[in-house]
């Protein structure tokens, strides 16, 4: 197998010496220059050989050495199956065809992606923690590699499922960017089944009594805003915070109309939904109307991410106040639980109401004209149940 050792070039007139590596393989050698120069004060010689005293330069040299070794690892199969020389290996390392780098592409993806920014960065960080290489070719993402990643993340099943979904999204985006009919640069994503995440404690449904506590809360500033949008989400079939923030959401003839951002790109109908606004929440709708957008979140926050972070902090105040663990997403879970367990709504209607993706019905949906009557009737039953028995009930 190819090996590396560090060496120095001849001193220049100013006393500077280039640092380079000598790559050896099957009796052949090839110099691998670096952009780093040292002088006599930066180095010393010990029994173990050359030692670099300048910490910054030593770290830079170690970084380059690791990168070269990573690339040698990437092309190990090519090396073992061919009668190549050290010079051939150096050329392969320098050649882009050694494999596009997932990490550098993922970083670019994260910088231009405006949704799930924090989760995307966490997913990329988890891959870095799992695979210590500075450069990870897309070709590394085999079933075996992903199985080992799952084993690495086994103690965090919720995060594992979310991170794998993000990693797959980045990978498929790279396929679109790099591949075409004439040339396949990024290998196709393997048909890897991403494990389903068990619901976390904070994403579970809460009880009707706990919903009433939040409904009766009259906080100000961010905590009051969280309360308002949480109740709106519950009463509007679990509408997500990102949809309340967006420009797509509209009120037309008493209906809330929008394409659900989370699933719009994976649904033939763009995840479009029309929700009849219950009379019970008309005052709250009016309270939260915006001047330029339908809702006022954008007037308080310059981005969805900042709104999410601020309201999440406010939510923690309510958790401490009421002694419950929940998330904004709990509004969806709670609506679905009450609809099924207390009101008797069938699961198919609940699935439609929550605007999920149903792979089994994807083809059938092409032939059936969309109707929102059933889901709005279901929501009316849930609202009647909650407002009669809880929200408007005197203690």
CB atoms within 10 A of CB 21: 21
Do 225 and 299 touch, CB atoms closer than 8 A?
A: no
Distance of CA 115 to the CA centre of its chain: 8
Sign of the dihedral defined by the CA atoms of residues 319, 256, 301, 240, in that order: positive
pLDDT mean over 49-72: 87
319 to 14, 208, 276, 322, 323: CA distances (angstroms):
66, 16, 30, 5, 5
Percentages (nearest 5) of helix, strand, coil residues in the chain: 55, 15, 35
Query: With 70 as the cut, is the pLDDT of residue 218 above it?
Result: yes
Is the CATH code 2.20.110 the one for domain 201-391? Answer: no
pLDDT band at 297 (very low <50, low <70, confident <90, very high): very high
The pLDDT value given to residue 96: 47
SS3 category, 206 = coil
CB atoms within 10 A of CB 237: 27
Share of the chain above pLDDT 70, in %: 89
The pLDDT value given to residue 379: 97
pLDDT higher at 182 or 171: 171
Q: List, for residues 197-209, the tens digit of each pLDDT value.
A: 665 555 588 999 9
The pLDDT value given to residue 367: 47
Contacts made by residues 147-153, CB under 8 angstroms, sequence distance 24+:
150/195, 153/126
Mean pLDDT for all residues in the chain: 86
369 CB burial (10 A radius; 0-12, 13-18, 19+) = exposed
Query: With 70 as the cut, is the pLDDT of residue 362 above it?
Result: no
The pLDDT value given to residue 294: 96
The pLDDT value given to residue 267: 81
pLDDT band at 306 (very low <50, low <70, confident <90, very high): very high
pLDDT mean over 256-273: 89
Helix axes 330-341, 221-235, angle to 10 degrees: 40
SS3 category, 21 = strand
Single pTM value for the model: 0.57
Domain boundaries, the chain: 3-98, 102-178, 201-391
């Amino acid at each position: 197998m190819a090996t590396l050792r560090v060496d120095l070039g001849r001193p220049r007139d100013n006393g500077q010496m280039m640092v380079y590596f000598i790559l050896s393989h099957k009796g052949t050698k090839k110099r691998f220059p670096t952009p780093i120069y040292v002088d006599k004060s930066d180095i010393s010689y010990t029994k173990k050989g050359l030692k670099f005293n300048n910490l910054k330069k030593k770290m830079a040299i170690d970084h380059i050495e690791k990168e070269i070794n990573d690339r040698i690892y990437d092309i190990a199969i090519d090396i073992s199956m061919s009668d190549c020389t050290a010079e051939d290996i150096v050329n392969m390392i320098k050649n882009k065809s050694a494999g596009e780098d997932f990490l550098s592409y993922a970083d670019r993806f994260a910088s231009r992606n405006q949704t799930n920014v924090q989760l995307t960065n966490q997913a990329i960080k988890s891959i870095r923690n799992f695979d210590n290489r500075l450069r990870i070719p897309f070709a590394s993402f085999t079933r075996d590699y992903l199985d080992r990643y799952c084993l690495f993340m086994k103690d965090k099943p919720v995060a594992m499922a979310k991170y794998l979904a993000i990693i797959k999204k980045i990978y498929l985006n790279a396929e679109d960017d790099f591949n075409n009919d004439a040339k396949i640069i990024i290998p196709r994503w393997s048909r890897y089944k991403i494990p389903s995440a068990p619901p976390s404690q904070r994403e579970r449904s809460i009880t009707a009594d706990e919903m009433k506590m939040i409904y009766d809360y009259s906080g100000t500033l961010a905590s009051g805003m969280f309360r308002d949008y949480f109740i709106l989400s519950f009463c509007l079939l679990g509408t997500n915070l990102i949809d309340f923030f967006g420009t797509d959401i509209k009120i037309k003839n008493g209906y809330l109309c929008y394409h659900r951002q989370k699933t719009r790109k994976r649904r033939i109908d763009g995840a479009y939904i029309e929700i009849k606004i219950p009379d019970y929440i008309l005052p709250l709708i009016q309270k939260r109307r915006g001047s330029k957008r339908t809702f006022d979140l954008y007037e308080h926050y310059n981005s969805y991410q900042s709104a999410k972070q601020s309201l999440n902090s406010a939510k923690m105040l309510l958790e401490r106040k009421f002694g419950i663990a929940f998330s904004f997403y709990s509004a969806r879970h709670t609506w679905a639980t009450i609809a099924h367990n207390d009101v008797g709504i069938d699961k198919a209607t609940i699935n439609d109401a929550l605007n999920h993706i149903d792979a089994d019905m994807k083809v059938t949906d092409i032939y059936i004209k969309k109707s929102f009557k059933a889901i709005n009737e279901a929501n009316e039953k849930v609202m009647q149940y909650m407002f009669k028995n809880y929200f408007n009930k005197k203690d």
